[in-house]
């Protein structure tokens, strides 16, 4: 299934969420130097995935070419 209308599918969305979760797990590891950057990157990744899925759901709800 073509989720966003430009070639992204559910597996890619799942992979992005998995990468963001991994970044969160790395961010809480003691001794990791870039904890703050990893947290910010994870939050940004989650936000991008959520925005994309929300846009797709809105387009789907209104029946706009999806």
Q: Which residues 6+ apart lie within 8 Å of 52 measured at CB?
A: 3, 4, 8, 13
Q: 20 with 42: CB under 8 angstroms?
A: yes
Asked whether residue 29 is assigned to any structural domain, the reply reads: yes
Confirm whether 2 is domain-assigned.
Answer: no
pLDDT in tens, 4-24: 555 556 787 888 889 889 988
The tokens for 37 are: 């950057």
Q: Is 45 part of any domain?
A: yes
Q: Count of domains in the chain?
A: 1
Query: What pLDDT is stored for residue 31 in this prediction?
Result: 87
Domain of 22?
A: 10-62
pTM of the complete model beyond 0.85: no
Q: Which tokens sit at 14? A: 């799942």
Examine residue 3 and state whether it is found in any structural domain, yes or no.
no
Q: With contact defined as beta carbons under 8 Å apart, do 26 and 40 qualify?
A: no
């Amino acid at each position: 299934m073509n989720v966003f209308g430009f070639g992204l599918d559910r597996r890619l969305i799942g992979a992005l969420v998995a990468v963001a979760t991994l970044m969160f797990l790395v961010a809480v590891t003691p001794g990791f130097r870039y904890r703050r950057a990893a947290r910010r990157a994870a939050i940004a990744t989650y936000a991008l995935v959520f925005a994309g899925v929300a846009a797709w759901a809105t387009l789907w709800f209104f029946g706009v070419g999806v």
